[in-house]
Amino acid sequence: MYSASFEYHRAASVDEAVKLLAQYGDGAKLIAGGHSLLPVMKLRFALPAHLIDIRRVPELAGIREENGALYIGAATTHAAVAASSLIHARVPMLAEAAGRIGDAQVRNMGTIGGSLAHADPAADLPAVMLALGTMLRAVNRRGARTIPIDEFFTGMFTSAIAPEEVLVEVRVPFPPPQTGAAYAKYADPASGYAVVGVAAMVTLGAGRTVERARVAMTGLAPFAARLTGVEEALTGTMATAEQIEAAAQRATEALDAGADGDAGYKANLATVYARRALTRAVERAK
């Protein structure tokens, strides 16, 4: 099916994109890679009268390191994230997860900002960003604001980005020493989307006990969220195989009890992928 017709605008700057959003109001939508928005438009679930293309805005491009953090422009493609030597060196989990999104075409078009703003419940990057403790910078006509990732995903396909805002940059703090992180995903064989994906970041402290754990899951709930029960259960332990297994069991607390489908199968997926992510993260922290 074809989308309804629309007027196309190419923004040259974030400022221009923000002005166009304000000018066209509810009838306007940003487009970056188009790999989530265009399918929705073709199904006529979205009928924007104005599309504002931000893919070539220079302020939204690039990956840099500054003051103990990585800064990734919102229009950076998944392929660029997966190929970045800086990201591989500093936060390898992010490069690995980006490299497993969809197929080569999806990775060449889809962007980090588009993925986060779209907040698809089966997308990979939301869980990874939650585990990494990132901060997101958004700009609107009144100025800029920073949104902690823990406050970003608010519902199915719903994020804290307001309709008149542009997500500009993702700030990923460098993990502290003795930290390991891993993303374990069971991909839908057709699309590559996560049936389940668990991202874990584990920091070891004195005596090699777990000082801090951030763990998040995508795929099995209306939106990606931290697995706080898993984090609590692992923190303070030596992260032995038994302790990891006990912590992983608590991933089921995040499942939507009223959802359709096989509850036992989902509980098993959540536990198995939490265990895999935790085990790999702990190995990498040692």
Interacting residues with ligand FAD (CB under 6 A): 29-37, 39, 54, 74, 78, 101-102, 106, 109-111, 113-115, 117-118, 120, 123-125, 161, 166-167, 191-193
Q: How far is the CB of 124 from ligand FAD (least distance, A)?
A: 4
Question: Helix count (H) and strand count (E) of the chain?
Answer: 11, 14
If the CB atoms of residues 46 and 246 are measured against ligand FAD, the closer one turns out to be 46
- Give residue for tokens 């030597």: 85
**β-strands 158-159, 210-218 pairing:** unpaired
If the CB atoms of residues 74 and 200 are measured against ligand FAD, the closer one turns out to be 74
CA angle 121/127/130 to nearest 5° reads: 125
Q: How far is the CB of 248 from ligand FAD (least distance, A)?
A: 23
If the CB atoms of residues 70 and 168 are measured against ligand FAD, the closer one turns out to be 168
Q: How far is the CB of 184 from ligand FAD (least distance, A)?
A: 14
- In a 3-state reduction of DSSP, which class is residue 187? strand
Q: How far is the CB of 210 from ligand FAD (least distance, A)?
A: 28
Q: For residue 241, what are the β-bridge partners?
A: none
- DSSP 8-state class, residue 34: -
If the CB atoms of residues 118 and 275 are measured against ligand FAD, the closer one turns out to be 118
If the CB atoms of residues 159 and 203 are measured against ligand FAD, the closer one turns out to be 159
Q: How far is the CB of 239 from ligand FAD (least distance, A)?
A: 28
Q: Do residues 199 and 216 make contact, with C-beta atoms less than 8 angstroms apart?
A: yes
Nearest to 226 by CA among 94, 130, 93: 130
